[in-house]
Chains A and B, each alone.
Chain A
Amino acid sequence: MTTVDYVLRLGDDALITAQRLGAWYAAGPEMEEDVALANIALDQLGAARLLLTYAGEREGAGRDEDALAYQRDAAAFRNCRLVEQPEPDFAAVIAKLLLLSAFQLPLYEALAAGADERLAAIGGKARKESAYHLDHSTLWTLRLGDGTDESHERMQAAIDALWPFVDGLFSGEGGPVAPAAIRPAWTSTVEDVLKRATLSVPAPVAEPAGERPHLVELLAEMQELHRAHPGARW
């Protein structure tokens, strides 16, 4: 039986990723990249809408996708902490997208063949898009990792900075596919890409405990309009 929290976790991962990527529109290193990041943000938002709608229906308390996106506080968000981390430079965007899409692709594939029909339909749709995200982040990781001294340094720094949040990708249960079951496939994909990009795989690091200031800040911006004008529509 799929729990509400399980669906929220996947939906929140996608929603927060879409919000972070949206901030890069017109700030990428080239125009094609602005378009690419906006496309990927839109894919993530599409998956988030389907997942949050489903979570609201399972919960049965009358909350729709908008209520879940705009009317929850940070403490009620179930996303892994990786996705809310800040992106000080483009290398951080690519590193995060690599680590995330190497997780989302095999997860969606497994869900597509899983017992929950609704998640199977969403997974079957989203996996095609995730394949493009993984492909895109892989190409950039290779280009930056095996590029100039500076791009290599920045790419490695980005991977190192995000590594403490890797364990969080695989936590959680309550659905047809346990995130932990995805780890072997993820490790194989990520280690292969990092190696080809002449980057090193960091040693395991524990996730820092404590508050989630980045999520609080992100939500303040994302929810501002809805909170100031409840029920506002375009």
Chain B
Amino acid sequence: MTKHEFFVDMTCEGCSGAVTRVLNKLGGVQFDIDLPNKKVFIESDHSVDLLLETLKKTGKNASYIGTK
């Protein structure tokens, strides 16, 4: 599995909670959230596009940084 790094414009616990929920809903992911640095690390076999789309469901700005 590849580990991907994403930027997600999270500002509070509510944001990281929302990211946690959308990723758990998607399934097939293992992830870590770094709230202060606005980063989300995801290990998954899903495509980057799908992961990014999922993160954007929260209504926050999100972008792909690269593989870790």
Partners in one complex: no
The interface of chain B, by Cβ under 8 A from chain A, is none
